[in-house]
Amino acid sequence: MKQKIYRIKNLSCANCAQKVEEYLTKQDEIHRAVINFTNSSLQIKYKDEELEIVELERRIHTMNSDNVKLEALDVHQMSMKQSIWTKESVNLLIRILISGILAIGGFIVFLALKQWNMADMHYPFWELGKLSGNTRELTLFWSEFAVMITAFLLVGYDIGWKVIKGFKKPSTMLNENFLMFMAALGAIAIGNFFEGALVLILAQVGQLFEKISVTKSRNAVIDAINLRPSNANLIVGNDIHVVEPSSLNVNDFIEIRVGETIPVDGVVVRGSGSLNTMSLTGESRPVHVGQDDAVMSGTTLIEGSLVLRVEHTFENSKIAKLIELVMNSGSNKGVMESFLQKFAKWYTPIVISLALLVFIIFPFAAGGWVDNWTQGLYIALTFLTVGCPCAILVAVPIAYFCGAGLASKNKIIIKGSNYLEGLLRISEVITDKTGTLTKGEFTVIEENVINGTKDDFINILLAMESRSNHPIAISLKTIYKDTVISAKVQDFQEIAGFGLKAIYNKNEVLVGGQKLLLKEGIEYPQPNEYGTEIYVVLNKKVIGYIVLGDMVKDDSTIFIKTLKDQGVKVTMLTGDGAKNAEHIGHSLGIDNVVSNLLPDEKVAYVEEAKKKNKYSTIYIGDGINDAACIISSDVGVAMGGIGSDVSVDNADIVIMNDQPSKLIDAQKIAKATRLRAIVNIVIALMIKVGLMIFALIIGKVNPSFPALLVAVLGDTGLTIVCIIYSSLLIRKKITPTHKDIHEDKCTKDHCHPH
């Protein structure tokens, strides 16, 4: 399936975004379309061939009257800050200012001319007859109309035009533009010229501020994760050209200077230095690199200087992947978001019906709540402005966007708001052992050569392990790094969950645990130590074994304890033998340890648990031979960061360093985010209902009160407040769970700084 990302311009509101999204998803060629209003991006998954931009635009124009423009977006552009003052927004601001001065200035002048008598100001067009013969009043009426209608048109002609075009597209007609324009037009009709002009001015101010604050919160997310790649210093002969990372080709040579972020993945061909890999791995310790070392884009050179050979183009580099992940983190919608989208569809028609009802019933029924039908119309117009669903639609997504941004800042990538929601109520956390709870850095704690020399034993072991990428293999390669392998293995097979099998010097060799030997029907001796046993079998006979010990991460203890305190069931799954697994499980306080599992049995366990559990079943692993578990759980968490493609692709949440306790931090972020989303939505609804009640009451008590203006202010102001309140989330400090315990232990007399 092909995926493309576009920048989508000129969409006027979240409501329109939702409709475009639904419309596009219904297209035959398109599997799914998601608009991230915050990020003004459109993400399309095509079934096979992609559509041309012109064709996409054409189709959008058939259902949406905004002059939508699309632009293919590459990852580099996605990571750039957007400027707040674009040509369009400056234009709009100028129009707002001129029409504002005109309207307010005009209002004061006419008020003076009418001898500061507010009550006498308004004549609906249909009551103009009352003024016949009164030349002064008539002149005032028409000249005020002329001034205000000029301001009205100047600031609102584009809205009006969209509304007129919208009549041809009834399914999407009822949007913010329509409601505001009708309210303004209504105000003009009943003679409230100034109010009519001001409604449109405020609506535009609202849209402008909304755009600005959305852009600002998006920029804040970009700032927080600090992932903007620097330019690249391309070496051409003896010269250095400064170019954009996206223009680099594989095998180009680039120079990296101190303080620069590595723009693309590459290999060091000259020089050496230390890299800060914080942004990718969350690890604060610098990593030293020299000749022939691979370096990942996104890391920063803090000391030394390097010349790199480009190994991946920018788009295929780690940094691009990360940017893409972070900037699209909202693409899976959570329950709350989907619910509100459905709700918003009903909200507007309901409020409009209420408005109609007020208009029809009020002047006549209920003993005449208001004196005349003009007043009833006025209250109905106020209802119309309250009918804008914008705040309701923006409130939750913006909170989640900022929540995902906060998570990224804390080195946790969350791929959708549904996963953030999934952390709120957890039934069971299932964890992998090796590399997840333990460091996955093995040491040899027992060594026993039964047949032949130790050298032969180690030689065979290493020849086998050199072909594997299992944590066991990686450790053994480091432990025995001085051994020179004398012969190569043939017909190498890695049997997941069991071990390795191959032909070595025409002999059949097996390397693996007791399970492998049982399967092959081979007798084996029992070691003395607790640990992961690795037997070497030559022609069906054990020639020796080693026992590997692995250390539990400092972090795991607090991770498990916190989960248990929350009443979450914790299960450890492992392919390791029962003895060792129970030993480690016990030391961490895990009650439920399932050992001797093959990879597919682990998946079966996860599937089964998912059926039994009421709330989310979470799997956390290191992504090495447990990708299937990560996929099949409700929320799959991969640790060890962006380094491993497998985990990044399959996981719902990626923890960029090796600390499982980051999951607890993610949970804290999920709670903070949900709180903001709920506060936003509750306040939005309360203010909206409040405004309607207010309009009803004030309409009776003080008919000349400009309730319509209060409603417009309330509505647009509300949206902006929601956005700002959400974007403050990015600044929130999340205390790392692991550190928490450290600080708890720290008393006044005994304090060991980290």
C-alpha span between 426 and 15 (Å, rounded):
33
Smallest distance from the beta carbon of 512 to ligand ADP, in angstroms?
4
- Greatest Cα pair distance, the chain, in angstroms, is 124
**x-or-dash pattern for ligand ADP, window 429-448, by CB under 6 A?**
---xxx--------------
C-alpha span between 738 and 754 (Å, rounded):
12
Strand positions, DSSP E, 180-299: 232-236, 239-243, 253-256, 266-276, 287-289, 294-295
Smallest distance from the beta carbon of 426 to ligand ADP, in angstroms?
22
The answer to whether 513 contacts ligand ADP (rule: CB under 6 A) is: yes
The answer to whether 387 contacts ligand ADP (rule: CB under 6 A) is: no
Assess contact for 597 and 576: CB atoms under 8 A: no
The answer to whether 210 contacts ligand ADP (rule: CB under 6 A) is: no
Contacts of 119 (CB under 8 A, 6+ apart): 704
| Residue 316 interface partner, choices ligand ADP, Mg ion, none, CB cut-off 5-8 Å depending on type | none
Which of 246, 232, 218 is CA-nearest to residue 405? 218
Which residues make beta-bridge pairs with 547?
Answer: 446, 533
Assess contact for 68 and 60: CB atoms under 8 A: yes
- Interacting residues with ligand ADP between 529 and 558 (CB under 6 A): 532, 534
Residue 432 bears catalytic tag: yes
Please state the φ and ψ torsions of residue 267, each to the nearest 5 degrees.
-125, 140
The answer to whether 466 contacts ligand ADP (rule: CB under 6 A) is: no
In the bound state with Mg ion, the residue whose beta carbon lies nearer, of 434 and 580, is 434
Smallest distance from the beta carbon of 468 to Mg ion, in angstroms?
12
The answer to whether 265 contacts ligand ADP (rule: CB under 6 A) is: no
Which of 136, 122, 140, 252 is CA-nearest to residue 192? 122
Contacts of 33 (CB under 8 A, 6+ apart): 20, 21, 24, 25, 27, 42, 43, 44, 45
Amino acid found at 671: K
Assess contact for 303 and 288: CB atoms under 8 A: no
Smallest distance from the beta carbon of 170 to ligand ADP, in angstroms?
59
| Residue 616 interface partner, choices ligand ADP, Mg ion, none, CB cut-off 5-8 Å depending on type | none
Which residues make beta-bridge pairs with 431?
Answer: 572, 620
Assess contact for 516 and 498: CB atoms under 8 A: yes
State the residue number with the nearest CB to Mg ion: 434
Give exposure, 446-482, as e/b (b: 16+ Cβ within 10 Å): eebbeeeeeebbbbbbbbbbbebebbbbbbbeebbee
In the bound state with ligand ADP, the residue whose beta carbon lies nearer, of 141 and 619, is 619
Region near ligand ADP per CB under 6 A, out of 230-238, 245-253, 290-298, 496-504? 496-504
Smallest distance from the beta carbon of 283 to ligand ADP, in angstroms?
22
Please state the φ and ψ torsions of residue 389, each to the nearest 5 degrees.
-85, 10
**Among 498, 504, 545, 605, which residue sits at the site for ligand ADP (rule: CB under 6 A)?**
498
Region near ligand ADP per CB under 6 A, out of 158-166, 511-519, 650-658, 712-720? 511-519
Region near ligand ADP per CB under 6 A, out of 105-113, 330-338, 363-371, 464-472? 464-472
C-alpha span between 707 and 195 (Å, rounded):
10
Q: How many chain residues are in contact with ligand ADP, going by CB under 6 A?
A: 21
Only one residue has tokens 């969209």, namely 162
The answer to whether 391 contacts ligand ADP (rule: CB under 6 A) is: no
C-alpha span between 314 and 75 (Å, rounded):
8
**Where on the chain is the footprint of Mg ion (CB under 5 A)?**
432, 434
Smallest distance from the beta carbon of 427 to ligand ADP, in angstroms?
22
| Residue 576 interface partner, choices ligand ADP, Mg ion, none, CB cut-off 5-8 Å depending on type | ligand ADP
Region near ligand ADP per CB under 6 A, out of 156-164, 184-192, 481-489, 508-516? 508-516
Which of 64, 38, 386 is CA-nearest to residue 222? 38
In the bound state with ligand ADP, the residue whose beta carbon lies nearer, of 418 and 438, is 438
Region near ligand ADP per CB under 6 A, out of 160-168, 497-505, 660-668, 742-750? 497-505
Q: Choose the catalytic residue: 66, 252, 265, 432.
A: 432
Mode of pairing for the β-strands spanning 499-504 and 507-512: antiparallel
- Interacting residues with ligand ADP between 561 and 580 (CB under 6 A): 574-576
**Among 500, 654, 655, 708, which residue sits at the site for ligand ADP (rule: CB under 6 A)?**
500
In the bound state with Mg ion, the residue whose beta carbon lies nearer, of 306 and 628, is 628
Whole-angstrom distance between the N-terminal and C-terminal Cα of the chain?
Answer: 48
**Among 18, 297, 625, 647, which residue sits at the site for ligand ADP (rule: CB under 6 A)?**
625
C-alpha span between 210 and 721 (Å, rounded):
9
Amino acid found at 147: V
259: left (phi over 0), alpha (psi -120 to 50) or beta: left
**Among 95, 470, 553, 688, which residue sits at the site for ligand ADP (rule: CB under 6 A)?**
470
The answer to whether 584 contacts ligand ADP (rule: CB under 6 A) is: no
| Alpha helical stretches, state H, 329-429 | 335-361, 373-386, 390-409, 417-422
Smallest distance from the beta carbon of 410 to Mg ion, in angstroms?
25
Which of 588, 627, 594 is CA-nearest to residue 609? 594
Region near ligand ADP per CB under 6 A, out of 140-148, 241-249, 426-434, 520-528? 426-434
**Among 280, 473, 590, 628, which residue sits at the site for ligand ADP (rule: CB under 6 A)?**
473
Region near ligand ADP per CB under 6 A, out of 74-82, 296-304, 428-436, 741-749? 428-436
The answer to whether 658 contacts ligand ADP (rule: CB under 6 A) is: no
Residues at the contact surface with ligand ADP, assessed by CB under 6 A: 432-434, 465, 468, 470, 472-473, 497-500, 511-513, 532, 534, 574-576, 625
Give catalytic residue positions. 432
